[in-house]
Chains A and B, each alone.
Chain A
Amino acid sequence: GNSVTQMEGPVTLSEEAFLTINCTYTATGYPSLFWYVQYPGEGLQLLLKATKADDKGSNKGFEATYRKETTSFHLEKGSVQVSDSAVYFCALSTAPGAGSYQLTFGKGTKLSVIP
């Protein structure tokens, strides 16, 4: 079956530090890959996505590259801000049937950025 493994948190960084959150996956077929972010007390928001090998998703200074050879989709940001404090989820989507898409999530990594 499908699975997503991401680094355990929590991760605490100082403002302007470099961020990497590792994510690897196992999937049948050719998945699309996503990073979602959940701010305190809110639902999940799509942060970025990539749909084929070597695609780079980017948004709000965050980037992740779809690496098929290493089955990875690591999230990076060059300089984090206090406002980036949230829980980050790596996810994949497959389409087992017509019109049927399922998201499989990692367990989430809580990021705290201190001034």
Chain B
Amino acid sequence: DSGVTQTPKHLITATGQRVTLRCSPRSGDLSVYWYQQSLDQGLQFLIQYYNGEERAKGNILERFSAQQFPDLHSELNLSSLELGDSALYFCASSPSDRYLGEQYFGPGTRLTVT
């Protein structure tokens, strides 16, 4: 158990809808990262938040957005969903400083868009 929790575990929704994925980082970790894992694209970094502020952006679509709240949990919002958005979405967290890049992953949310 990495200490990172994600809800829900599974999500099935229709095209055009909007969903919110939730992540709670390990106790004490200030950074949260979101990744998308799909068969064709592999693991893609989406976005990073550090202590409530956006810190880095990867291959995140404009239809997607995220935020990190004062209690450090994070939410990833996916809107106008398309079939191609079906994937596993992982959240990861890491300590605030003096670490060497390793991240701790949650169990993931499997999103199916029908």
Q: Measuring CB to CB, which residues of chain A are less than 8 angstroms from any residue of chain B? A: 31-32, 34, 36, 42-46, 49, 51, 89, 92-97, 99-108
Residue of B nearest to A49 (CB): B102
> B2, A103: Cβ atoms under 8 Å?
no
Residues of B within 8 A of A108 (CB): 42-43
Q: Give the top 7 A-B pairs by smallest Cβ distance, nearest first.
A: A93-B101, A43-B105, A105-B43, A32-B101, A44-B105, A100-B56, A107-B42
Interface size class for chain B? 20 to 34
Q: Measuring CB to CB, which residues of chain B are less than 8 angstroms from any residue of chain A? A: 2, 4, 31, 33, 42-43, 45, 48, 50, 55-56, 58, 90, 92, 94, 96-97, 100-108
Residue of B nearest to A107 (CB): B42
User: Once bound together, how far apart are the Cα atoms of A31 and B101, in whole Å?
Assistant: 9
The answer, among A34, A92, A97, A105, for a CB contact under 8 Å with B42, is: A105
Residue of A nearest to B43 (CB): A105
> B107, A99: Cβ atoms under 8 Å?
no
Question: Most chain-A Cβ atoms within 10 A of its Cβ — which of B90, B92, B101?
Answer: B101
> B58, A99: Cβ atoms under 8 Å?
no
Residues of A within 8 A of B97 (CB): 99
> A103, B56: Cβ atoms under 8 Å?
no
The smallest C-beta distance from A61 to any residue of chain B, in angstroms, reads: 19
User: Once bound together, how far apart are the Cα atoms of A103 and B50, in whole Å?
Assistant: 15
> A46, B102: Cβ atoms under 8 Å?
yes
Given A43-B90, A44-B90, A105-B43, answer yes or no on A100-B48 (Cβ-Cβ < 8 Å): yes
The answer, among A43, A51, A92, A101, for a CB contact under 8 Å with B48, is: A101
The answer, among A43, A94, A100, A103, for a CB contact under 8 Å with B108, is: A43
Q: List 12 A-B contacts (CB under 8 A).
A: A43-B4, A43-B107, A45-B2, A46-B103, A93-B101, A94-B101, A97-B56, A99-B31, A100-B48, A102-B56, A103-B103, A105-B43
> A101, B90: Cβ atoms under 8 Å?
no
Residue of A nearest to B58 (CB): A102
> B2, A104: Cβ atoms under 8 Å?
no
Residues of B within 8 A of A101 (CB): 31, 48, 56, 94, 101, 103
